[in-house]
A and B are shown apart, each in its own frame.
Chain A
């Protein structure tokens, strides 16, 4: 079993749609949680950290459920520029070694 599992995707949605990505992690001792975005042939870019209380950044909302070991990302009012691969990432250990999911591809069309 992979340490971080994500929806396989791809998600093809029209502009303006709301889309949700889910992720589960296997290590209950994990301490930090992130969503990264990766464009084709580019580096991962931090989208947002995920906190236990949930957090929002504009059109993006992240939730964490430690009991279920489940992380989610909600994107509202999708834009063409949101098209990318979204990586669920979990920090492990005191120095935050990152464990990556395989990513979920999002394609937003006009």
Chain B
């Protein structure tokens, strides 16, 4: 079974540009999460989808970040316009449907560098 995949693996953009990150969860996983690790800090939660619905977006830094999950399959995270402090590694994770202590499985991450 394929794991969580993310694209691209690396992205280098200039301040003010737009970048879109993509995540494909494990097949059949209704829960999809985005996390971010900035340099020197711990991994932080950004938001959570259940199928196509945003369940919790309390971790989104500001309105320059837009996440979508049309059709409840893959998700995109757009940063527009990018700022220097957006640099970091963006991880996507997925887990089985429903509430409870379902374990989350992480993708390899997208390393974003804003110059």
Contacts and interface: CB of A to CB of B under 8 A. Distances in A.
Contacts of A94: 99-100
Contacts, number: 58
Main SS of chain A's interface residues?
Answer: strand
The 3 closest A-B pairs by CB, nearest first: A32-B101, A43-B106, A100-B43
Given A97-B48, A102-B41, 10 more contacts: A32-B101, A34-B103, A43-B91, A43-B109, A45-B106, A95-B99, A96-B99, A96-B100, A97-B59, A100-B42
Contacts of A99: 45
Interface of A: 2, 4, 31-32, 34, 42-46, 49, 87, 91, 93-103
The interface size bin for chain B is 20 to 34
B62 to A, nearest CB: 19
B101 A91 contact: yes
